[in-house]
Amino acid sequence: MRKIPTLLFLLASALIFTQCVNTDTKEEWAIVLHGGAGSAAGMSPSERDHYMDLLNQALETGTAMLEQGARAIDVAMQVVVWMEDCPDFNAGKGAVVNSEGIHELDAALMNGRDLKAGAVAGVRDIRNPILAARHVMEDTPHVLLIGEGASAFAASAGLTMVPNEYFSTPKRLEQIRRIREQKENPDPKGTVGCVVLDKNGNLAAATSTGGMSGKRWGRVGDVPVIGAGTYANNNTVAVSGTGHGELWIRRCVAFDINALMDYKGYSVEEAAREVIFNKIDTMEGSGGGVICVDKNGRIAMEFNTDIMYRAWATAGGLRGTAIEH
């Protein structure tokens, strides 16, 4: 368990940060995205600047669509597509590999308007898993397809299929080498996600990941488990998480934030802090965070790690990009 002084510092930091972001004005639209959470160890100033630029590019993709009146579900999906195509994040191109040296990807999408959701898990050859999740949501009676079945469905839907090595980058190959040589521990944190409120008052959440570096083949984390790493409900909030997936599943993190708001009247900031710092933070190996936007466009970005790559914007002019607390 984290020492109390550190926990108090993180709580204070989160409170100050949230107060700097939100206003009492209901926003016409709002967007938050994340590129994973983890440790700041070894990050150079140039690397930090590079990621800040990438986050801004991803944010611009979403804000341009929202200003033109695009639907939340389309914006959330398209931002995640952009991040899946960027080799610097753990999703799509640039995803981590499992213990066998294979990329296995997960993604999920949820529409707050009607609570429809789609997800894929353990896929090895779908260039953009989030697009497959969209097709699952809209073109099947199911929520989650896995492995070869998900791939066959994606191919039949006309999605771009790629060889598994498409997802590889020198960084990820070096990472698995170090894990195999026991010079580095498997890292459960690293995901991309986006939550959106559109001009029509609809919420949506999208999340995609390569999962845990060095994971056993066939392992599935929280991302495609609706209510764990991804959730959206127009009555409350849209949530996308990044962290130790097994713990996110056990705590039903995304749905728990929704439930605290729905059943107990918590604000989005209060609910996110309660789950991350008073529930997840007490579990061993619990590092990670969430991004949230509620039905009024209020934003919460809470994490108990050193850093979480994140960016946000609202119609009212709030805009920012950050990595550290």
60-82: per-residue pLDDT in tens? 999 999 999 999 999 999 999 99
pLDDT at 43: 81
What does the block give as tokens for 182? 């026991």
Runs of H (alpha helix) within 129-287: 129-139, 147-156, 170-180, 245-251, 253-264, 268-273
Which of 2-6, 87-91, 98-102 shows the highest mean pLDDT? 87-91
> Whole-model pTM?
0.91
pLDDT at 182: 66
Q: What is the mean pLDDT of residues 47-53?
A: 94
pLDDT at 325: 83
Three-state DSSP class for residue 237: strand
Instruction: Tally Cβ neighbours within 10 Å of residue 92.
Output: 29
Asked whether residue 4 carries a pLDDT value surpassing 70, the answer given is no
Lowest mean pLDDT among 13-17, 29-33, 38-42, 226-230: 13-17
Catalytic annotation, residues: 191
Q: Check if the beta carbon of residue 72 is closer than 8 Å to that of residue 115.
A: no
E strand or H helix at 68:
none
CA distance 242 to 32: 13
Question: Using 50, 70 and 90 to split pLDDT, how confident is the model at 189?
Answer: low
Lowest mean pLDDT among 86-95, 149-158, 196-205, 278-287: 278-287
What does the block give as tokens for 89? 């994040």
Domain boundaries, the chain: 4-324
Q: What would the CATH number be for the domain defined by 4-324?
A: 3.60.20.30
pLDDT at 187: 57
Taking each helix axis from N to C end, the angle separating 72-85 and 129-139, rounded to the nearest 10 degrees, works out to 150
Quick: pLDDT tens for 220-270: 999 999 999 999 999 999 999 999 899 999 999 999 999 999 999 999 999
